[in-house]
A and B are shown apart, each in its own frame.
Chain A
């Protein structure tokens, strides 16, 4: 389950035909600045891949480009061997789902309606839900553990509850790849662990999960695979502890860091202090 798990070393040169997500030469420009610069990495199936990097490294732009919300300037994206650029929007939305960071709304929709939006790529765009919608929504709500919230208004939920609702919406899309931008942001420590446990469960069911994470400790303890983004470039990729070395953390974050073992679980815990 933890760090040293599946470090298969699926490298940057992974072919388009490999399962999971394969990103090659992906460049995203905002204005004339490349916020993501020729990024290449993989997110293997049945694995939780953590996308880490300092603020402004380009993590959100990268995820948005994969989700189809941003048009990349160059590069290719393959999911389970299929070229995402060649798929229509709706077909793409049936294969991958995206939970944005802080994706709130002021519209007090019921939780059930919000989860139902996950069926948008399946039904007719103008009109009612598709035939399997009710069952898919029920299953997603149960999987996310929010049965008790079904009829509540989303605007009245806590941050952790809302995160679960948005996750359920993504699950209703039946994705093979789930993208999340800072899914533990603003959550208390118990809610963070609950969210990660939920993601591990999805991984166990065969979904590839790619999550941008700020917390390197959580990334090391919970992810199978880590991708380090620095100034728009992928600077390292691999099994967490092999990748997040003290040398790399010094270079990328400018901190002096060492990994300790959690006395309760043996999982890695990060101790960091400023360089100098």
Chain B
């Protein structure tokens, strides 16, 4: 205890701000703002793109698709082509971005808490490399499965391999799981690279690269369904696990003495997180940064308590990925960037800025 106390002593002797009150005040302001920002982002991002569309027209088109009666909003103002762009392309893509962003942020925050590892991300247990291998098998080798299904299957196989390996090493502990994940990731990564090196041609090469770097280019309504259901069915319950994750921060013994079934709870949470991530990676490829750094950024602003951290991370993740993807598809239109490049390009400097601010505050 003495060593922890000395390393964590107040730096620089400045008066310490009341952490609890500061976190509460920020949460109270941020939460409603973020909900509004999410709603606005969905509408505004839908209007952005090659065909110039007015916000009001887009809104009326969306509302008419949602079944709002004509008497209230008038006829759908868009012609068939433009309406198709809005309803068949942009709306599902924006919604997928929102779901994937929210889901990745939740999965990352939970994974960091479960493994007590700040560098943990949703793909930690070999999920993304497994999914990549599945996807590459489809694109290159012509395995006759739909791409998301192959990616999801690959992710689950990698997860099973990771847990199996960790279990074969003895009792399954967070550290062993992480190490086993590293081994499985490397192996699947090597297999993927080999497949690409051996058989990729010009066209498929770009498709693969887009997938490996994460892309929402192909997201239509089925993608919304997969990512949306995963976030609603798995992500929402995970949002409520904040208190358990807080208790885990004090170690397994304390968590057990608080009445938590430590082993069982850890594996349920880990399994749920992995399933959620598998579903997301199946529709978007592996999008970096969001799950790893975003929870850290939120932590710097509202504090580390998971009961506020998880929902705020989800909201920020959704808004962030909507705009990152909008930038990815419009910055160099008609060419698209993989959204993973954009998330890292924007995210890394923002995070560095937050770190610097935190330092001057503390």
Question: A120 and B258 in contact (CB under 8 A), knowing A102-B1, A113-B305?
Answer: yes
**How many A-B contacts are there with CB distance less than 8 Å?**
124
Q: Which residue of B lies closest to A87 (CB)?
A: B259
Q: Are B259 and A152 in contact (CB under 8 A)?
A: no
- Kindly state the separation between the CA atoms of A96 and B257 in the bound complex, as whole angstroms: 8
Residues in B with CB closer than 8 Å to A123 are 243
Q: Are A117 and B243 in contact (CB under 8 A)?
A: yes
List A residues at the B interface (Cβ < 8 Å).
64, 67-69, 88-94, 96-98, 100, 102-113, 117-118, 120-121, 123, 125-129, 150-153, 155-159, 162-163, 173, 179, 185-186
Q: Which residue of A lies closest to B265 (CB)?
A: A125
Report, nearest first, the 7 A-B pairs whose CB atoms are least far apart. Answer: A93-B259, A151-B18, A121-B259, A98-B257, A110-B20, A126-B240, A90-B259
Question: A150 and B20 in contact (CB under 8 A), knowing A68-B256, A107-B304, A157-B5?
Answer: yes
Q: Are A67 and B21 in contact (CB under 8 A)?
A: no
Q: Are B1 and A162 in contact (CB under 8 A)?
A: yes
Verify if B247 is at the interface (C-beta below 8 Å from A): yes
- Kindly state the separation between the CA atoms of A158 and B10 in the bound complex, as whole angstroms: 10
Q: Are A126 and B253 in contact (CB under 8 A)?
A: no
7 contacts between A and B (CB under 8 A): A96-B257, A102-B1, A107-B246, A118-B258, A155-B8, A156-B10, A186-B2
- Kindly state the separation between the CA atoms of A173 and B256 in the bound complex, as whole angstroms: 13
Q: Are B259 and A108 in contact (CB under 8 A)?
A: no
Question: A113 and B246 in contact (CB under 8 A), knowing A100-B253, A120-B258, A162-B5?
Answer: yes
Q: Are B305 and A109 in contact (CB under 8 A)?
A: yes
**Interface size band for B:** 35 or more
Q: Are A98 and B260 in contact (CB under 8 A)?
A: no
Verify if B66 is at the interface (C-beta below 8 Å from A): no
Q: Are A98 and B254 in contact (CB under 8 A)?
A: yes
List B residues at the A interface (Cβ < 8 Å).
1-2, 4-5, 8-10, 16, 18-21, 23, 116, 237, 240-241, 243-244, 246-247, 249-254, 256-262, 303-305, 307
Q: Are B19 and A108 in contact (CB under 8 A)?
A: yes
- Kindly state the separation between the CA atoms of A103 and B303 in the bound complex, as whole angstroms: 20
Q: Are A126 and B246 in contact (CB under 8 A)?
A: no
Q: Are B256 and A117 in contact (CB under 8 A)?
A: no
Q: Which residue of B lies closest to A120 (CB)?
A: B258
Q: Are B5 and A158 in contact (CB under 8 A)?
A: yes
- Kindly state the separation between the CA atoms of A69 and B262 in the bound complex, as whole angstroms: 9
Q: Which residue of B lies closest to A113 (CB)?
A: B305
Residues in A with CB closer than 8 Å to B240 are 126-127
Residues in A with CB closer than 8 Å to B5 are 157-159, 162
Question: A125 and B260 in contact (CB under 8 A), knowing A107-B304, A110-B305, A113-B305?
Answer: yes
- Kindly state the separation between the CA atoms of A151 and B256 in the bound complex, as whole angstroms: 26
Q: Are B23 and A110 in contact (CB under 8 A)?
A: yes
Residues in B with CB closer than 8 Å to A108 are 8, 19, 303-304
Q: Are B250 and A153 in contact (CB under 8 A)?
A: no
Q: Are B21 and A151 in contact (CB under 8 A)?
A: yes
- Kindly state the separation between the CA atoms of A151 and B250 in the bound complex, as whole angstroms: 19
Residues in B with CB closer than 8 Å to A127 are 240, 243
Residues in B with CB closer than 8 Å to A157 are 5
Q: How far apart are B359's CB and chain A's nearest CB, in angstroms? A: 14
Residues in B with CB closer than 8 Å to A102 are 1, 4
Q: How far apart are B61's CB and chain A's nearest CB, in angstroms? A: 38
Residues in A with CB closer than 8 Å to B260 are 89, 120, 125
Partner of A120, one of B9, B21, B243, B251: B243
Q: Which residue of A lies closest to B251 (CB)?
A: A103
Q: How far apart are B96's CB and chain A's nearest CB, in angstroms? A: 27
Partner of B253, one of A64, A97, A109, A121: A64
Q: Which residue of A lies closest to B4 (CB)?
A: A104
Q: How far apart are A263's CB and chain B's nearest CB, in angstroms? A: 31
- Kindly state the separation between the CA atoms of A113 and B20 in the bound complex, as whole angstroms: 8
Q: Are A152 and B16 in contact (CB under 8 A)?
A: yes
Residues in A with CB closer than 8 Å to B254 are 98, 100, 103
- Kindly state the separation between the CA atoms of A118 and B258 in the bound complex, as whole angstroms: 7
Partner of B258, one of A117, A128, A155, A158: A117
Partner of A105, one of B21, B249, B253, B257: B249
Q: How far apart are B27's CB and chain A's nearest CB, in angstroms? A: 12
Q: Are B257 and A97 in contact (CB under 8 A)?
A: yes
Q: How far apart are A62's CB and chain B's nearest CB, in angstroms? A: 13
Residues in B with CB closer than 8 Å to A112 are 20
- Kindly state the separation between the CA atoms of A118 and B244 in the bound complex, as whole angstroms: 11
- Kindly state the separation between the CA atoms of A104 and B249 in the bound complex, as whole angstroms: 9
Q: How far apart are B132's CB and chain A's nearest CB, in angstroms? A: 32
Q: How far apart are B315's CB and chain A's nearest CB, in angstroms? A: 18
- Kindly state the separation between the CA atoms of A107 and B23 in the bound complex, as whole angstroms: 14
Q: Are B252 and A153 in contact (CB under 8 A)?
A: no
- Kindly state the separation between the CA atoms of A255 and B252 in the bound complex, as whole angstroms: 36
- Kindly state the separation between the CA atoms of A90 and B261 in the bound complex, as whole angstroms: 9
Residues in B with CB closer than 8 Å to A113 are 20, 246, 305
Question: A110 and B19 in contact (CB under 8 A), knowing A104-B4, A121-B258, A185-B1?
Answer: yes
- Kindly state the separation between the CA atoms of A93 and B247 in the bound complex, as whole angstroms: 13
Q: Are A186 and B246 in contact (CB under 8 A)?
A: no
Most buried by A among B5, B21, B252, B258: B258
